[in-house]
Chain A
């Protein structure tokens, strides 16, 4: 019994538990919004949200993973920056610039053979995403311009630049979307086509999911290793926590701020590539004046995952799962806006896991000590007179 309690008090368990608890509160709140907006179908609608990807069986689950992929990447981008003391609000801009670069390379550079083509497209996306974060990084390190302001500005610059460049180069005006990328640039299925499909007559109704999810998970593991196992990660975290002490220790804190931003930007850029290098059935870039939601959703993903790269994998899948569930709610009598509100409530309440992280151990400890404390309080009062006597001697 005592051992079980000690495990509950350990850091890792506490972190996971607080995230789960935050999700639970988010769901409760989402259910309340459902009840208010449409009481008669609330329970049914909530069931659909909870069923998430399962609503359309294996294909649906594949879609969950497909849409989780960019969220893992933007979540990693925000989370990595968090860990190094920076608040990267610019994932949306880095994401869309990376996406454009990948699509451009995918459409135009057809001289590249198959595996090389998509690899180059991803690298290009990382490069441009990194570049988009380099500017705020340099401004932060050398001019002390706060990264929140500069990354927000870069979001808008990125969005309009990407829209302009797409229209000028890879625009399919009939569909008002970016063009299909060349087959050689589409990410391979990576074995996932054997799992995530629904039978359709003799054929398969395939999910869009592809090896992008493998790449995202691999990169999350790489980030985890960099942050926790390497001297580079040690330096980055040191600068994030205390740049004065880092300087004193001989760490080049300006270089680390820039590097940290560039890595965060590259991760978000890769997210853009992984989402849009998915062939004719996959997503295409819509040329609209709206910041990429994948970028902003990276923030709750990172918060819910407590900025831990491994936690981010799970929180991104969770948020994608809930969002997919929301899409299926349209079969009921729900207005799409209400669905968005409900999903947003669940996501943002879930991001409060940090709050629960500090509350849960307090409750656990309180319970543990309550019995002992009441028993000894009386003894303490009784003992008070003895000390007074001792002091007078």
Chain B
């Protein structure tokens, strides 16, 4: 019975919702313990309780058998508990190094001693292959890089209990493999890991035991080796889930999106983020742009949707040149966009769920008369979408967006974008941070959009998703398209090679 951390009968309530209802979690020393559950099942809340961000209404926490009170993240840190949050806690206008040492600065006589810290960060970065530039500003680096900074932050503090809140969501397969290796190395050195994830493959690959939560309730703790993926997903969702998206052969029709020689400047460097990319997306097909994070996908999407001005080239939507059109014009031309960063671009967190659901429609005659908002219509509309897309929230349409779980926030965006009935749907990592049930649903819906003879452009970092959903795969590497392949003609390993830039396939550019 050498539990290093025990959370006994934790109950945490928020207005209108019980996020954790009598949950018990016991972490053995030196194990990787997975915490599995759907969106809003209460995983993040439970971890925030352990990390001192929330105080539970009921229940106790024990460390090495001793009862402890964790009132703030500082207390948690003193107890050797570190956490990589699902939504990163980084200071955006600080450098990587400054973020890592924040709160544990090495000083002498009141002056910062950055050199020692710097050496340690570089050493850790190299040791674990994280390849982070310690002097880059957080706001200049990609989401994937930001997460590595979070991991480094924890390693830097020599924490012995490490919480990973969905750490693999933004990593490439190779990076995930590396992370898995790091996690195993860490446990062999005596550290204990709590690993929050939706991905059953990862649990199978690294975890020793797994605790399953569903809708805020404790379902059980299982031994990973003796339990199948199907059993685990059934415990999590409460029903059987299929992992392969059923779809019929694509029948591409006329071109919806035509991109020609698109060049987009990079925000941070003098070199171009997108270097003369040309491709087409036709009706009735799902085209996926695969690539490692930071190879120009984000900029490409921003160029097509109008969020960033393009340098040269043309974007044609249904034959109409929209390369100079305003964002509203593009939206109204039938462009749907599930953005990469839902907190920055996709949602207004201070608004209610209903207000967010009409973000692209509030000005249409359905929802306003002579400039006055039609609250009843908006409410009815939101109720409809909430039901249709199973968006779970404490107070229905009136819930403040910020208080909703990450997965449900994503569902709100998906609901909004599917509802505008787009000719072209651009989905950037639409399943990021979602559980298997929701992923299954969104994949099914994406195929549904395709089968309605619409075009779908999917940007994904997850090869399972790429292989599963797309009809055609374009691989982007350093701002150029390096492959145009069909999923049944390529293996995941080959895709990995394209993504790493070590292979090319005749793409005219």
Residues of chain A whose beta carbon lies under 8 Å from any beta carbon of chain B: 229-232, 234, 237-238, 241-242, 244-252, 369, 373, 376-377, 380-381, 383-384, 387-388, 391
Most chain B CB within 10 A, of A246, A250, A387, is at A250
Q: Identify the 3 closest CB pairs spanning chains A and B, nearest first.
A: A250-B328, A380-B9, A250-B327
* CB proximity of A253 to chain B, nearest CB, Å: 10
Asked whether A380 lies within 8 Å of B58 as measured between CB atoms, the reply is yes
Interface flag for B363 (CB, 8 Å): yes
* CB proximity of B65 to chain A, nearest CB, Å: 12
Contacts of B329 in A (CB 8 A): 250
How far does the alpha carbon of A52 sit from the alpha carbon of B499 in the complex, in Å?
A: 75
Interface flag for B345 (CB, 8 Å): yes
* CB proximity of A248 to chain B, nearest CB, Å: 4
Asked whether B9 lies within 8 Å of A230 as measured between CB atoms, the reply is no
Contacts of B344 in A (CB 8 A): 242, 244-245
How far does the alpha carbon of A151 sit from the alpha carbon of B59 in the complex, in Å?
A: 52
Taken residue by residue from 347 to 380, chain B's Cβ proximity to chain A (1 for < 8 Å, 0 otherwise) reads as 1111100010001101100011001110000000
The residue on A at minimum CB distance from B335 is A250
Task: Give the A-B contact count at a CB cut-off of 8 A.
Answer: 92
The residue on A at minimum CB distance from B375 is A229
Contacts of A245 in B (CB 8 A): 344-348, 359
Asked whether B349 lies within 8 Å of A381 as measured between CB atoms, the reply is no
Asked whether B57 lies within 8 Å of A369 as measured between CB atoms, the reply is yes
Asked whether B373 lies within 8 Å of A384 as measured between CB atoms, the reply is no
Question: Given A244-B344, A384-B9, are A391 and B26 also a contact pair (CB < 8 Å)?
Answer: yes
Asked whether A248 lies within 8 Å of B372 as measured between CB atoms, the reply is no
Interface flag for B337 (CB, 8 Å): yes
The residue on B at minimum CB distance from A242 is B348
Interface flag for B468 (CB, 8 Å): no
Asked whether A231 lies within 8 Å of B371 as measured between CB atoms, the reply is yes
Interface flag for B98 (CB, 8 Å): no
How far does the alpha carbon of A377 sit from the alpha carbon of B57 in the complex, in Å?
A: 9
Asked whether A376 lies within 8 Å of B58 as measured between CB atoms, the reply is yes
Interface flag for B307 (CB, 8 Å): yes
Contacts of B349 in A (CB 8 A): 241-242
Contacts of A246 in B (CB 8 A): 348
Question: Given A247-B327, A250-B327, A380-B9, are A230 and B371 also a contact pair (CB < 8 Å)?
Answer: yes
How far does the alpha carbon of A84 sit from the alpha carbon of B236 in the complex, in Å?
A: 42
Contacts of A244 in B (CB 8 A): 344-345
Most chain A CB within 10 A, of B57, B327, B347, B348, is at B348
Show 7 A/B contacts (Cβ-Cβ < 8 Å), sorted by A.
A231-B371, A234-B362, A241-B348, A242-B347, A387-B8, A391-B26, A391-B221
Asked whether B60 lies within 8 Å of A250 as measured between CB atoms, the reply is no
How far does the alpha carbon of A245 sit from the alpha carbon of B307 in the complex, in Å?
A: 10
* CB proximity of B226 to chain A, nearest CB, Å: 13
Asked whether B307 lies within 8 Å of A373 as measured between CB atoms, the reply is no
Asked whether A238 lies within 8 Å of B351 as measured between CB atoms, the reply is yes
Interface flag for B326 (CB, 8 Å): yes
Asked whether A234 lies within 8 Å of B355 as measured between CB atoms, the reply is yes
How far does the alpha carbon of A251 sit from the alpha carbon of B57 in the complex, in Å?
A: 42
Asked whether A238 lies within 8 Å of B359 as measured between CB atoms, the reply is yes
Interface flag for B52 (CB, 8 Å): no
The residue on A at minimum CB distance from B332 is A250
Question: Given A231-B363, A248-B339, A391-B26, are A241 and B57 also a contact pair (CB < 8 Å)?
Answer: no
Interface flag for B382 (CB, 8 Å): no
Asked whether B351 lies within 8 Å of A241 as measured between CB atoms, the reply is yes
The residue on A at minimum CB distance from B358 is A234
Asked whether A230 lies within 8 Å of B348 as measured between CB atoms, the reply is no
List 14 extra interface pairs beyond A242-B349, A380-B22, CB under 8 A.
A231-B373, A237-B351, A241-B350, A245-B348, A247-B307, A247-B345, A250-B327, A250-B331, A369-B57, A380-B8, A380-B9, A384-B9, A387-B24, A388-B26
Asked whether A383 lies within 8 Å of B9 as measured between CB atoms, the reply is yes
How far does the alpha carbon of A376 sit from the alpha carbon of B307 in the complex, in Å?
A: 53
Contacts of B332 in A (CB 8 A): 250
Contacts of A230 in B (CB 8 A): 368, 371-373
- Checking A231, A247, A249, A383 against B368 with a beta-carbon cut-off of 8 angstroms, the contacting residue is A231
Asked whether B348 lies within 8 Å of A250 as measured between CB atoms, the reply is no
How far does the alpha carbon of A387 sit from the alpha carbon of B219 in the complex, in Å?
A: 11
Contacts of A391 in B (CB 8 A): 24, 26, 221
How far does the alpha carbon of A23 sit from the alpha carbon of B194 in the complex, in Å?
A: 48
How far does the alpha carbon of A18 sit from the alpha carbon of B357 in the complex, in Å?
A: 31
How far does the alpha carbon of A246 sit from the alpha carbon of B362 in the complex, in Å?
A: 12
- Checking B307, B326, B350, B373 against A248 with a beta-carbon cut-off of 8 angstroms, the contacting residue is B307
How far does the alpha carbon of A359 sit from the alpha carbon of B407 in the complex, in Å?
A: 30
* CB proximity of A105 to chain B, nearest CB, Å: 30
Contacts of A377 in B (CB 8 A): 58
Asked whether A380 lies within 8 Å of B348 as measured between CB atoms, the reply is no
* CB proximity of A189 to chain B, nearest CB, Å: 33
How far does the alpha carbon of A249 sit from the alpha carbon of B326 in the complex, in Å?
A: 11
How far does the alpha carbon of A380 sit from the alpha carbon of B331 in the complex, in Å?
A: 53
How far does the alpha carbon of A32 sit from the alpha carbon of B318 in the complex, in Å?
A: 73
* CB proximity of A74 to chain B, nearest CB, Å: 25
How far does the alpha carbon of A381 sit from the alpha carbon of B8 in the complex, in Å?
A: 8
Taken residue by residue from 12 to 41, chain B's Cβ proximity to chain A (1 for < 8 Å, 0 otherwise) reads as 000000000010101000000000000000
Contacts of A238 in B (CB 8 A): 348, 351, 359
Asked whether B362 lies within 8 Å of A231 as measured between CB atoms, the reply is yes
Asked whether B371 lies within 8 Å of A232 as measured between CB atoms, the reply is yes
Taken residue by residue from 48 to 60, chain B's Cβ proximity to chain A (1 for < 8 Å, 0 otherwise) reads as 0000000001111
* CB proximity of A281 to chain B, nearest CB, Å: 41
Contacts of B327 in A (CB 8 A): 247-250
How far does the alpha carbon of A141 sit from the alpha carbon of B444 in the complex, in Å?
A: 42
Taken residue by residue from 433 to 450, chain B's Cβ proximity to chain A (1 for < 8 Å, 0 otherwise) reads as 000000000000000000
Contacts of B362 in A (CB 8 A): 231, 234
Question: Given A245-B346, A245-B359, are A234 and B373 also a contact pair (CB < 8 Å)?
Answer: yes
How far does the alpha carbon of A381 sit from the alpha carbon of B6 in the complex, in Å?
A: 13
How far does the alpha carbon of A233 sit from the alpha carbon of B284 in the complex, in Å?
A: 39
How far does the alpha carbon of A388 sit from the alpha carbon of B345 in the complex, in Å?
A: 45
How far does the alpha carbon of A383 sit from the alpha carbon of B59 in the complex, in Å?
A: 10
- Checking A247, A373, A387 against B57 with a beta-carbon cut-off of 8 angstroms, the contacting residue is A373
How far does the alpha carbon of A238 sit from the alpha carbon of B362 in the complex, in Å?
A: 12
Contacts of A248 in B (CB 8 A): 305, 307, 327, 337, 339, 345-346
- Checking A232, A249, A388 against B359 with a beta-carbon cut-off of 8 angstroms, the contacting residue is A249
Asked whether A373 lies within 8 Å of B58 as measured between CB atoms, the reply is yes
How far does the alpha carbon of A246 sit from the alpha carbon of B26 in the complex, in Å?
A: 44
Asked whether A250 lies within 8 Å of B360 as measured between CB atoms, the reply is yes
How far does the alpha carbon of A251 sit from the alpha carbon of B359 in the complex, in Å?
A: 9
The residue on B at minimum CB distance from A240 is B350
Contacts of B339 in A (CB 8 A): 248
How far does the alpha carbon of A131 sit from the alpha carbon of B359 in the complex, in Å?
A: 31
Contacts of A229 in B (CB 8 A): 372-373
Contacts of B22 in A (CB 8 A): 380, 383
Question: Given A230-B372, A232-B371, are A380 and B359 also a contact pair (CB < 8 Å)?
Answer: no
